[in-house]
Amino acid sequence: MGKERYTIRDIAAMANVSRGTVDRVIHNRGTVSEDAAKKVKEVLEKINYEPNLIARSLKAHKDSVIAVVIPEYSEDYYWRQCAYGIRTSEKEFRQFGISLEYFQYSKTQEDYNKKFSEAIDFNPDAVLIAPVYYQDSLELFHRLEKKNIPFNLINTPIEDVSYRTFIGQDYRKSGRVAAQLMNTLVRNEKKILVIHVEQYFENSTHLQEKEQGFKDYLQDKNISQDIEVLTFRDAKELTDLKAILPETAGIFMTTSKTHLVAEHIGDNEDIKVIGYDLIPKNVQYMKEGKINILIHQNPISQGYDGISMLVEHLIYKREVPKVKLLPLDIVISENVDCYL
């Protein structure tokens, strides 16, 4: 091959390894398996790699700052996993002149608006945001658009704004999957509960999509099942469940707070529970038989891909897909350890 300009991303794709692995092999740092190192070295030899080729390519790009607007994650395992993916991507792309500025918000609309506004005023080169509150986001996103600041969305899609890429799942499809799974678990005339635990449910379009998908599947398949939808603003309100549990055959929990439902069910294994995310308490209750199925939402991948796809745009000016849907991994007690 000629002396073309190859990026670390190109080399990683050719060797079928991560970009971090390529970086470690090139700079002889960190730990890399013999097999991975061999693959990278074979590609480097094939393309007549010279270290300063990539270095010169990187120098041609100005340093870029990405603002990251996500929930405060110190006490929230789901968002801590998302932040881990973001930090992993940050370390990998630091050599490209990429740095991140974090704007973490508490779970209130007021603080969300405040931190989002601060991120915009910071005038970053790009923004990665988890937009928890739909209605309150629109005006702020329009401010980003007026400044021509590119942005990616994770976890929650927002319509009517010009984001580069949404990284998450097809939430209506997710609800349909949950309904099909519930239909295999529940075979009696008792009701199924669809439970949301979210202070600002009316702003949480991804939860609404899950609920609608669940209902759509049962309707499309002509499955006659009594469904009751319950929305709790606070976990403390779940004590109201006790009165209706004797009439309940299954519970579909639309958030990662599935463990809260399991706590109220106690030892009643007749009630089947489907929920989301491999947070420690959910995994514990799954192993104890109190949660039957968890749908994994890949928060690490959401965070990592959210940054890496912005880097693709900032550095290489490449076209990126409008939507990147992550797989709907179905986790049960027999395979949960494979994900930990």
pLDDT of 2: 43
Q: What's the CA gap between 184 and 169, in Å, rounded?
A: 23
The answer to whether the predicted template modeling score (pTM) of the entire model surpasses 0.75 is yes
pLDDT of 57: 53
pLDDT of 210: 96
Please list the residues that pair with 295 across neighbouring strands: 276, 330
Q: What's the CA gap between 105 and 107, in Å, rounded?
A: 6
Domains 64-168+299-326 and 171-296 share a fold: yes
Instruction: Classify domain 64-168+299-326 at the CATH topology level.
Output: Rossmann fold (3.40.50)
pLDDT digits (tens, 9 = 90+) for 172-226: 999 999 999 999 999 878 899 999 987 677 778 889 999 999 999 999 999 888 9
Q: What is the pLDDT along the chain (340 residues), one digit of tens a residue?
A: 344 667 777 888 899 998 888 878 876 766 788 888 899 889 888 887 765 545 545 555 578 999 999 999 988 899 999 999 999 999 988 877 899 999 999 978 899 999 999 999 999 999 999 998 877 788 999 999 999 999 999 998 888 899 999 999 999 999 999 999 999 999 878 899 999 987 677 778 889 999 999 999 999 999 888 999 999 888 888 888 888 999 999 999 999 999 999 998 877 888 999 999 999 999 999 999 999 999 999 999 999 999 999 998 888 788 889 999 999 999 999 999 998 8
Domain ranges for the chain, please list them: 8-59, 64-168+299-326, 171-296
Would you say 168 and 302 are in contact if contact means Cβ atoms under 8 Å apart? yes
Alpha helices in the chain (DSSP H): 8-15, 19-27, 34-46, 51-59, 77-93, 109-121, 134-146, 171-185, 205-220, 258-265, 280-287, 299-316
The second-level CATH assignment, the architecture, of 171-296 is 3-Layer(aba) Sandwich (3.40)
Options 1.10.3720.10, 1.10.260.40, 3.30.70.20, 2.120.10.30; CATH for 8-59 is 1.10.260.40
* Phi, psi angles (nearest 5°) of residue 117: -65, -40
pLDDT of 53: 44
Residue among 59, 44, 62 nearest 8 (CA):
44
pLDDT of 313: 85
Would you say 182 and 217 are in contact if contact means Cβ atoms under 8 Å apart? no
pLDDT of 4: 62
